[in-house]
Amino acid sequence: MEKILLGHGSGGRLMHQLIREHFVPQFDLKELSDSAVIDLKGHSKLAFTTDSYVVSPLFFPGGNIGKLAVNGTVNDLSMVGARPLYLTAGFIIEEGFRMSDMKRIISSMADAAKNAGVRIVAGDTKVVDKGKGDGIFINTSGVGIVPDGIDLGPRHIKAGDKVIISGLMGDHGIAVMSERNGLSFDPPVISDTAALNGLVERMFAGAPNSAIRIMRDPTRGGVATTLKEIANDSGFCIVINEGRLPVSSGVIGACELLGLDPLYIANEGILIAVVSPDAEGTLMEEMRKHPLGKNSAIIGEVTDEAKATVLLRTSVGGTRIVDMLAGEQLPRIC
């Protein structure tokens, strides 16, 4: 009998399969980005997204499930070029959950919403019996307006385009995992959870709209899975250079110790953008002025040397194929 596996929630290959085989034929999911962009005929375009958060533990270095839930949904909207405006919050709470933890989480959500400039306008609370949940799960859904003239998507990608990353890889995943397993690293690794809408606004202010082809936030499944999604959706080959991938020494150390690959570790405060080669310079300059973009780097480019493939040029001069996360590396990371 076919059953749901932890890997179906990984963001990787199993999840893509579940979505493609079961959700897509039944629902109206057009492009498989996290936000739907809806044309309100005559009005502006609306972006609409949803995400449930089940991160364990609920509190980790740099944040908690509430902060993550607000920033994550703000980011999903930002990735389609929308200006995030309104959020809803749905809580599934396990009976016996401490009210003091509830308060901390709510207050983090309020702070995160304020920082991102969005408003939480509707909510829902359900309680399940003890042993039928895990403390608290939070769904945030969000809407935003896509400004006229902004239209992102894999169809705009061309050979020669550059691939940008806005910050260090792997911090969120390693921070959650270290908290979960009682590990500590030196220097300590702190989740990068942050709202990217400010950085995105600066990017659009600094370059013509059409220079930015597509943006994605590499959460579950990490940078590798996100790049592979972009390669699949556009049909192009993406070649990245291992030596250019920004990773902190803390994350490198943790990954070496634990046998993990930073390319597959979840991030919650960085974005990947494919941009036109003419705009690369100005974009880098603009992004680096923003606190969340100070480690921005060009990590690779789009080519047509293979179809729907991601290639990694390693530091020692080799080339390897980068695939989606298969199965589950770190469950319940967001």
Q: What are phi and psi of 36, to 5 degrees?
A: -85, 140
Residue 36 engages a second copy in binding (rule: CB under 8 A):
yes
Residue 60 engages a second copy in binding (rule: CB under 8 A):
no
Query: Residue 43 corresponds to which tokens in the numbers above?
Result: 């009005």
Closest separation in Å from C-beta 246 to a second copy: 28
The H or E element containing residue 267 is none
Residue/partner pairs of 2-10 with CB below 8 Å, 24 or more apart: 5/327, 5/328, 6/328, 6/331, 7/326, 7/327, 7/328, 9/54, 9/220, 9/328, 9/331, 9/332, 10/220, 10/221, 10/325, 10/327, 10/328, 10/329, 10/331
Residue 57 engages a second copy in binding (rule: CB under 8 A):
no
Q: Looking at 39, 95, 256, 305, which residue binds a second copy (CB under 8 A)?
A: 95
Query: Residue 186 corresponds to which tokens in the numbers above?
Result: 């030196």
Query: Residue 45 corresponds to which tokens in the numbers above?
Result: 């375009």
Q: Looking at 17, 20, 57, 124, which residue binds a second copy (CB under 8 A)?
A: 124
Nearer to a second copy (CB atom), residue 31 or residue 261? 31
- How many chain residues interact with a second copy (CB under 8 A)? 80
Can you tell me the distance from the alpha carbon of 222 to that of 251, in angstroms, rounded to the nearest whole number? 13
Nearer to a second copy (CB atom), residue 122 or residue 257? 122
Q: Looking at 64, 75, 139, 248, which residue binds a second copy (CB under 8 A)?
A: 139
Residues 163-192 that bind a second copy (CB under 8 A): none
Nearer to a second copy (CB atom), residue 140 or residue 248? 140
Q: Looking at 61, 115, 117, 141, which residue binds a second copy (CB under 8 A)?
A: 141
Residues 72-91 that bind a second copy (CB under 8 A): 85-86, 88-91
Residue 313, amino acid: R
Residue 93 engages a second copy in binding (rule: CB under 8 A):
yes
Task: Show the beta-strand stretches assigned E in 151-193.
Answer: 162-165
Residues 218-247 that bind a second copy (CB under 8 A): none
Nearer to a second copy (CB atom), residue 9 or residue 170? 9
